Amino acid sequence: DADVTQTPRNRITKTGKRIMLECSQTKGHDRMYWYRQDPGLGLRLIYYSFDVKDINKGEISDGYSVSRQAQAKFSLSLESAIPNQTALYFCATSSPGQGGGYGYTFGSGTRLTVV
Partner 1 sequence: DQQVKQNSPSLSVQEGRISILNCDYTNSMFDYFLWYKKYPAEGPTFLISISSIKDKNEDGRFTVFLNKSAKHLSLHIVPSQPGDSAVYFCAAKFQGAQKLVFGQGTRLTINP
> What is the contact surface with partner 1 in residues (CB under 8 A)?
4, 31, 33, 35, 37, 40-45, 48, 58, 90, 92, 94, 96, 99-104, 106-109
Q: Closer CB to partner 1, residue 7 or residue 108?
A: 108
Which is closer to partner 1, CB of 85 or CB of 110? 110
Would you say the C-alpha torsion 93, 99, 101, 102 has a positive or negative sign? negative
Running DSSP on this structure, what letter comes out for residue 59?
A: T
Element (H, E) at 11: strand 10-13
Judged by beta carbon, residue 84 or residue 101, the one nearer partner 1 is: 101
Q: Which of 21, 18, 25, 17 is nearest to 8 (CA)?
A: 21
